[in-house]
Amino acid sequence: MLRFIGKRLWHGGLTLAALVTLTFFVMRLAPGGPFSRNRKISPEVQANIEAAFHLDEPIWQQFGRFVWGVLRLDLGPSTRHRDYSVNDLIASGLPYSLTIGFWAVVVAAMVGVALGLAGALRRNSATDYLAGIVGVVGIAIPIFVIGPLLQATFALRLDWLPVGGINNGWHSLILPVVVLALPNIAYISRLTRTSMIETQRENYIRTARAKGIGWRRVLWRHTLTGALLPVIAYLGPATAAIITGSILIETIFAVPGIGRHFVDAALNRDYPLVMGITLLYGGILILFNIATDVIRAVLDPRIRNER
């Protein structure tokens, strides 16, 4: 088990190192710099600015400086927002992104598993069809279509909820969380349904019933624990989906989170901020992938003993 975790951590570190390198060189090779705007500035000023951000050093030295900064968790100043460091900007945005992401995961997991269970237990019932429709809609209609539609309906026409922003407490959270959770509800309910149906046919379920255990206990203790394995395996991809979604959600609902910062930074070629947020996202994703693998290995000895 320890060896397994060690191997996963080593691979995760390798991925992170590759991500650091790739991000750095992509941002340096990309055409146009943060200061190559149309505004005319004298060569002395240009040289001064480049010296201040160390853009005049050879690229290997810049890379070394960057790696050293990452190791000390110091991502340097933003080139776009004067007087703010990348850390300041991430610290200001992260709470909003985390709040929305956290509730979206909770809602998606609870509603998704409940819908999937209901569908599997009463196949071809009204609930099953409802779950099927939610599944199809959630997967096929992109966030950036359903988000504005819900905004137009519940905020502009009915005036029940705020259109966007963050100033109305938990009221502002409802629409972003629901929209962000929807695609994941769809995946999780589909996954739960198929794996519940498969697990119900397993021999060990029949054995449990034959031993005289009541169906309710078999359902909660035997079927559900087995059936939720693929759902837990979806935790990694779900994190990626939530990250992707939160970039859109924060743009649509005008939330000042890190996803919004990321898009702005990419459009403005704010290198340090793009690199900082990329590393943060990459780190979160790698961590969750490792966590997923470890949880699955704890639950399922077949995975643990893979070579």
Partner 1 sequence: MSVDLAPPRGISTFALQLRRFRQNGLSMASVVVLAAIVALCFLGPLAFPFTGEDADFDFISAPATFSWPHLFGTDDFGRDLLVRVLEGGQVSLTIGFLGALVAGVIGVLYGAAAGYVGGRADGLMMRVVEILYGFPYVILVILLSLLFGGGNIALFAAIVFTLWLTPAVIVRAQAQSLAQREFVQAARAGGMTGPAIVLQHIVPNCMSIVIVYGSLLVPEVILSESFLSFLGIGIKEPQASWGNLIQTGTAAMDTDLRLLLLPGGLLATVLLCLNFIADGLRDAFNPNDR
Name the residue among 46, 63, 23 with its Cα closest to residue 277. Answer: 23
Instruction: Report the run of H or E that residue 237 belongs to, with start and end.
Output: helix 235-252
Task: Pick one of 289, 292, 296, 297: the residue that binds partner 1 (CB under 8 A).
Answer: 289
Q: Which amino acid is at 263?
A: V
Tell me if 5 contacts partner 1 by CB under 8 A: no
Query: Whole-number minimum distance, CB 207 to partner 1, in Å?
Result: 23
Considering beta carbons, is residue 104 or 208 the nearer one to partner 1? 104
Which one, of 164, 190, 225, 226, lies nearest residue 108 by Cα? 190
Applying CB under 8 A, the span of 20-28, 36-44, 79-87, 220-228 interacting with partner 1 comes to 20-28
Torsion of CA 250, 278, 96, 153, to 10 degrees: 20
Q: Which residue has the tokens 């029949």?
A: 206
Contact between 195 and partner 1 by CB under 8 A: the answer reads no
Distance CA 236, CA 284 (A): 10
43 binds partner 1 (CB under 8 A): no
Q: Is 22 in the site for partner 1 (CB under 8 A)?
A: yes
Give residue 178's identity as a one-letter amino acid code: V
Whichever of 20 and 208 has its CB closer to partner 1, that residue is: 20
Find the binding residues for partner 1 in span 90-149 (CB under 8 A): 136, 139-142, 144-145, 148-149
Using CB under 8 A, which residues numbered 220 to 249 contact partner 1? 240, 243-244, 247-248
Nearer to partner 1, 91 or 136 (CB): 136
Q: What CA–CA distance (Å, rounded) separates 4 from 288?
A: 15
- Please give the full DSSP string across 142-198, using - where no structure is assigned: -HHHHHHHHIIIIIIIS--S-SSSSTTTHHHHHHHHHHHHHHHHHHHHHHHHHHHHH
Q: 45 or 152: whose CB is closer to partner 1?
A: 152
Q: Is 258 in the site for partner 1 (CB under 8 A)?
A: no
- The number of beta carbons lying within 10 Å of the beta carbon of residue 107 is 17
* Residue among 2, 29, 71, 158 that touches partner 1 (CB under 8 A): 29
Instruction: Say whether residue 1 binds partner 1 (CB under 8 A).
Output: no
Q: Which is nearer to partner 1, 23 or 199 (CB)?
A: 23
Is position 59 an interface residue for partner 1 (rule: CB under 8 A)?
no
Q: Give the Cα separation of 94 and 277 in Å (integer).
A: 10
Q: Is 116 within 8 Å of 200 (Cβ atoms)?
A: no
Contact flag: residue 81 with partner 1 (CB under 8 A): no
User: Rounded CA gap, 51 and 53, in Å?
Assistant: 5
Q: Which residues bind partner 1 (CB under 8 A)?
A: 11-12, 14-16, 18-19, 22-23, 26-27, 29-32, 136, 139-142, 144-145, 148-149, 151-152, 156, 240, 243-244, 247-248, 251-252, 262-263, 266-267, 269, 274, 278, 281-282, 285-286, 289
